[in-house]
Amino acid sequence: MLDALILLAVILVGGLMAWPRLANNRLWLATLTPLASIIGSGFLVLGPILDDKFGKYGLVVMGVLCAMAAAFGSAIRYNINTRNDQGGEIGPVVQRFEQASSWVLAFAYVISVAYYLNLFGAFGVSLTTADDAFSARLLTTAVFGLILMIGWTRGFSALERLEQVSVGIKLAIIAGLLVGLAVYFGGKASHGALELNPSIVGGWEAATLVFGLIVTVQGFETSRYLGETYSPTIRVRSMLLAQLIATLIYLVYIGFVTFVFSREELKFSETAIVDMMGVVAPILPVLLVAAALSAQLSAAVADTNGSGGLLEELTGGKVSSRMGYLFLVVTGVALTWAADVFEIISYASRAFALYYALQSAVAAKAAWNANGVGPRSVAYAALVVLGLVIAVFGTPVEG
């Protein structure tokens, strides 16, 4: 019965995503890009991590992550509006910050693609007899090769619709998962069997683990770079809408997960969510793996394209986008065989935190130029400090 209810939710939300009035709405189309990145990979790993490490405080930690993302998103939205108000004119100091942040973002994309494709590899073998780290890395390496071949020979234009399709699939499956969790949560609550697992980390150790997870709510910044397609107003609104939807999904999801699994039911691994959801309903593991493969591939393609394009732009064409793809793939394969997924998550978090710090510096300078020292310029300056602290002290989750 529960499987049928989950499938019904998946079909209904999938149908909504395919509804022409929504699918062709410009605000929704602009929202899909940041939304795909924000909930793409974080949804797969955050539940098990927060429940295992923070126990009954997992929902609070999720709220903190979303609040940090909202704060950094505010700075980037201010930069979009400021650039629009100034007609594209920026001073030399801001220009240097922008140039530095673009370089950091290009390299952050390199690490994030390794993160996405290592999750792809792990989930790709999770329901097979070859469910081990070596097989997952082989699959990841093969997909890196496929992406390089496509990017080198044809470019990614043929895969541009993949993102919209994958977001629709992902949101439909997330709806089914939330329905399943809601029923499971209700059943446990009615029997007084909700779990209150203790946190196994605290203090500075807990803070640095949270710093190392910022990449799981990253992706909203992609709205900043859609200027050729959408107006500043649409980009600002789409980023805010994407963050609001993602925050709602994350808080509901973590709110359920935090209180329904005992410590004994938690298995710490990059694919732990598959085993956990198997307890809720037999159909959920298959749906989750389908969502994971679709989401990670589309996100990896998008960031590979973004990184190659940025490197070509930043070097004035001295490094072609194709050479950028090659650099990304070589680096990604090296990370795949040298580090585990949780270490890569930490590296990506620190890279994006540095990017957010630089964007916050741009916002602080713009606010100071406009109104002198005031609440806005001080707040953005504080975000510079926060971004740098995350970049320096973020640590990987360990089993």
Provide the strand spans (E) within 25-177: none
| Number of residues that make up the chain | 399
- Res 135: pLDDT: 93
CA distances from 209 to 47, 202, 203, 342, 351 (A): 14, 10, 10, 11, 15
Percent of the chain with pLDDT over 70: 94
- Res 375: pLDDT: 86
Is the pLDDT assigned to residue 85 strictly greater than 60? no
Q: For residue 283, give the 3-state DSSP assignment.
A: coil
Q: What is the pLDDT of residues 196-219, one digit of tens each?
A: 888 988 899 999 999 999 988 988
Phi, psi of 87 (to 5 degrees): 65, 30
The pTM score is 0.89
Is the pLDDT assigned to residue 299 strictly greater than 70? yes
CA distances from 76 to 101, 106, 236, 356 (A): 12, 17, 9, 8
- Res 368: pLDDT: 87
- Res 138: pLDDT: 94
Is the pLDDT assigned to residue 65 strictly greater than 90? yes
Higher pLDDT, 347 or 226: 347
Is the pLDDT assigned to residue 292 strictly greater than 90? no
Q: For residue 193, give the 3-state DSSP assignment.
A: coil
CA distances from 74 to 67, 82, 280 (A): 11, 12, 37
Is the pLDDT assigned to residue 391 strictly greater than 90? yes
For the chain, counts of helices (H) and of strands (E): 15, 0
DSSP state of 198: P
- Res 140: pLDDT: 94
User: What burial class does residue 193 get, using C-beta atoms within 10 Å of its C-beta: 0-12 exposed, 13-18 middle, 19+ buried?
Assistant: exposed
Q: Which of 47-56, 132-141, 300-309, 361-370 has the lowest mean pLDDT?
A: 300-309
DSSP state of 126: T
Is the pLDDT assigned to residue 32 strictly greater than 90? no
What is the residue type of 224? R
pLDDT-derived band at 156, boundaries 50, 70, 90: low
Q: For residue 395, give the 3-state DSSP assignment.
A: coil
Residue recorded with tokens 């793409």: 40
The mean pLDDT value for 100-126 works out to 89
Residue recorded with tokens 């580090």: 339
Is the pLDDT assigned to residue 139 strictly greater than 60? yes
Q: Which domains does the chain have, with CATH numbers?
A: 2-85+103-393 (1.20.1740.10)
pLDDT-derived band at 164, boundaries 50, 70, 90: low
- Res 134: pLDDT: 93
Q: Which of 1-10, 170-179, 299-308, 335-344 has the lowest mean pLDDT?
A: 299-308
Nearest to 223 by CA among 20, 37, 98: 37
CA distances from 161 to 144, 167, 299 (A): 20, 10, 12
